[in-house]
Structure 1
Amino acid sequence: MKQNYSIDEFIRQTKQDESENDYFELETPRMLEVNLNGDVWAKMGSMISYNGSIRFEREGILEHGIGKMFKKAFSGEGASLMKADGNGKLYLADQGKKITILHLNNEAITVNGNDLLAFEPGIDWDIKLMKKVAGMMSGGLFNIRLEGRGLVAITSHYEPLTLLVTPDQPVMTDPNATVAWSGHLQPEFKTDVTLKSFFGRGSGESIQMKFSGEGFVIVQPFEEVYYSQSNQ
């Protein structure tokens, strides 16, 4: 593999692709291009570059109603969103994580709050708190349920794997490695004392998410550690 380039060669290899102009495009596997003509919701702090006339606003505390305000206060800063409004090209990324674009067609998906990068403003969303694990893991867990028609961009560390859930084949996952799942699935949480003792640690493998029914779960080959607002 070539290790050095002239300046002209490097520009040709890495310059932005102007040949397509879809609303969401993967400029690289870890960089999302939003061809903006209106507005989009994105994870706070995910903007890395833009051109054109784009204005950024932090999500208003009452932007989505009083109920979501209280949920956001509980879940901390991890779910904070920003609105980008205007015309131009907007580039988003999150810690070099791989980006996947999903098109919802009157469907629902639940995404780990830390793994949601961007979504079209017409999609309905709500924060779902995992209260049962709030005292079991650092900062607990919160997720965002998205439903309707439109594009959603999610992130994962390395390549994601989708596991199918069937009535006779439930799926167990590590919460720290779970990215998203079918919107209608309701995970149960269980603590495995044997695994906790075996691995010698108080989180991770000792807590499992159990998915039963019909649907899918997306996992990543990485255990992400979440922090509450008070730990930041």
Structure 2
Amino acid sequence: MRSAFFGNLDAGQQLPGHFALQNPRMLRVHLNGEVVARQGAMVAFQGQMDFEYQGAGGIGKFMKKVLTGEGAPLMRARGQGLLFLAHNAEDIHLFYLENEAITVNGANILAYDSHLQTDIRKVEGAGMMAGGLFNTTIAGTGWVALHTHGTPVMLDAGRAPTFADAQSAVAWSSTLQIGVNRTIKAAALIGRGSGEAVQLAFQPTQGSSNFVLVQASEGPTVPPHTH
């Protein structure tokens, strides 16, 4: 699996393949076929393209998405040319999968190759904490682009027990064993102080890639209302 932080790359610099960096907050897709992207993420395109709603991929996946609320609405872009994608000027992180899988927070998906396989899975032991803790797995060979609130950090989860706020964890190796860590006494100090702090707990599996990608915040917050 290959990944890259784009904050350190110059505009116009790119990785091999048809997903490339236009700048740290904009993805350029060299499209010759189709790609799946977040609805509303298209900021410009050059060439001939059509856009349509991306369904859940069968009644089973549709019901999972409805019941869990996992993921963002998606569209499918078809055609030839250059497609430019962004979301709220957030940072972009790319993964290139090589016959493997990652688990991602569906709300952070910007785009992925249309031939990749996706599914929605529940974090065991999470119950209904932190919105239910359902996440999306993406598997196969191809590109995945994620958007993050701030520049993310890649943690090596094979070095030590690793814990991350449920809203801050963006993606991780599907080979990791994942559970939930609850911190009662520190609830007012970490997380959002909801009375019980909840973190995802990651345990490595021997001989596998073990990483966790964490964004620089728990995500955008809604400003307080004045009425």
- Identity among equivalent positions (%) equals 38
Residue 150 in 1 paired to residue 142 in 2?
yes
* Matched residue count: 207
CA positional deviation for 1:115: 1.1
Q: Determine if contact 1:131/1:140 at 8 Å carries over to the other structure.
A: no
CA positional deviation for 1:30: 0.4
Residue 121 in 1 paired to residue 114 in 2?
yes
Distance 1:102 1:226 in 2: 26
Q: Determine if contact 2:126/2:179 at 8 Å carries over to the other structure.
A: no
Unaligned 5+ segments in structure 2 are 1-10, 223-227
Q: Determine if contact 1:110/1:145 at 8 Å carries over to the other structure.
A: yes
Larger radius of gyration: 1
Unaligned 5+ segments in structure 1 are 1-15, 228-232
Q: Which residue matches 1:58?
A: 53
**In structure 1, what residue type is equivalent to 2:79?**
G
When normalised by structure 2's length, the TM-score is: 0.81
Residue 135 in 1 paired to residue 128 in 2?
yes
When normalised by structure 1's length, the TM-score is: 0.79
The structure whose residues are more often helix, as a share, is: 1
* Alignment of structure 1 residues 1-232 onto 2, 5 Å: 22-61=17-56, 64-76=57-69, 78-130=71-123, 132-133=125-126, 135-137=128-130, 139-166=131-158, 169-198=160-189, 201-202=193-194, 206-214=197-205, 215-224=210-219
CA positional deviation for 1:75: 2.9
- What SS does the corresponding residue of 2:60 show, helix, strand or coil? helix
Alignment deviations for residues 58-113 of structure 1 (CA, whole Å, 9 cap, x no partner) = 1135xx12210111112337432110011121111111111112111112111111
**In structure 2, what residue type is equivalent to 1:81?**
L
CA positional deviation for 1:57: 0.7
CA positional deviation for 1:226: 8.6
CA positional deviation for 1:190: 2.3
Deviates more, 1:171-180 or 1:75-84: 75-84
Change (3 A) 1:34 1:73: same
Distance 1:68 1:92 in 2: 25
**In structure 2, what residue type is equivalent to 1:145?**
T
Q: Determine if contact 1:59/1:82 at 8 Å carries over to the other structure.
A: yes
